[in-house]
Homo-oligomer: A and B are copies of this chain.
Amino acid sequence: MSVTLDGPLAGLSLNTATVREQWTLAEIIPACRRFGITGVAPWRDQIAHIGLDETERLIKGEDLTVTGVCRGGMFTWSTDAERQAMFDSNRTAIDEAATLDAQCLVLVVGGLAPGSKDMPAAREQVAEALATLLPEARAAGVTLAIEPLHPMYAADRACVNTLGQANDLCDMLGDGIGVAVDIYHVWWDPALATEIARAGDRILGLHVCDWLVPTTDLLLDRGMMGDGVIDIPAIRAMVEKAGYDGHAEVEIFSAETWWKKPPEEVLRICGERYCSVV
C-alpha cells in the first residue's frame, strides 16, 4: 500500500462525508495518507466531534492538503435571530477554514427562507450575505467557494442551482470568491461547457461521484464514480482546459450502499475508480 504523496492517487482528495457513518476524522485522516490520498475535505460537524485543534494536528501531521471545509452558507433567513445565527455560524466557519489552511470554504447557499415561497428574495439574501462575509473572509485569508447545487435542492438547500448563477455572483462580488464544481449537481446543465470556461481560474474545486439510474433518494443515493451516467472525463477535461489543476475530491452520500461498506473497501474503490474513470 502506497504511503507516498506522489503516487497514483496524489490528485485525489477525500470528502469526509464519504465514510462519515463508519469513521471519525481521527480515523479518516490517517487512512487518507495510508491509501496515498493527498487531500481531505472535512465537514464541520466531524471537525466539532474531535475538536478543531485535533483536526488541525492530524491533518498537518499527515501533510494533507485541505481542499475545502464543508461547509458555510445556508444564508436565507426569515427572522432577525435566524439572520444573526447565520452570520455567527459563517464567521466561525471562516475561522475554521483559516485554521486548517483550507484551499476554500465551500458554501451551500441555502434554499427558500423558512415559510417563504419567494425564490427571487432568497437569491437576494444570498447575494447580501456574501457581500457582507466576503471582506471578512479576505481579511482571514480564506477563499469562498460557491457550490451550485442541483435544482432538486432549490427549495431546501441551495437556490444557486447553476454555474451561471454562481459566476454571476462572482462577477458582482470580485476577488476572493469562486466556484466549486460538483459534477453531481451540474452534469445536466446545457450551459456547462460555457460556464466552466467562463469560471476559469475561479474554479476552486472539482467534486466527483456519479448519478445513478434510477436514483432512489434525492439526497443519499449518490453513486461511486463509474456506476452512473455522468461523463466524468468530459467534465474533468472542461475544468482542466479552464485552468484547474487541483485535486478531484470524491464526495459520496450513500446511505444504503457506500455508508454500509467497510471504509477501507470504500477508499480502495474510490482510488481504483479515480484511476480508471475520473
Contacts and interface: CB of A to CB of B under 8 A. Distances in A.
Interface string A133-154: 0000000000000000011101
Interface stretch (A14-22, A211-219, A252-260): A211-219
Interface string A60-92: 000000000000000000000000000000000
A38 interface: no
Contacts of A189: 151, 161
Interface in A153-175: 154-156, 159, 161-162, 164-165
Given A155-B213, A190-B161, A218-B218, A229 B150 contact: no
Interface stretch (A1-9, A27-35, A117-125): A117-125
Contacts of A218: 152, 214-215, 218
Contact of A156 (B150, B164, B213): B213
Instruction: For chain A, give the interface size range.
Output: 20 to 34
Contacts of A162: 190
Contact of A151 (B118, B152, B155, B156): B152
Contacts of A214: 156, 218
A17 to B, nearest CB: 19
A214 B215 CA distance: 16
Q: Which of A150, A151, A187 has the most CB of B within 10 A?
A: A151
A218 B215 CA distance: 8
Nearest to A164: B190
A231 B117 contact: yes
Interface in A180-225: 187-190, 211, 213-215, 218
A118 B152 contact: no
Contacts of A229: 112, 117, 155
Contacts of A165: 190
A98 interface: no
A112 B231 CA distance: 11
A162 B155 CA distance: 17
B156 A188 contact: no
B161 A211 contact: no
A10 interface: no
Given A112-B229, A150-B152, A154-B187, 4 more contacts: A119-B188, A119-B231, A152-B215, A152-B218
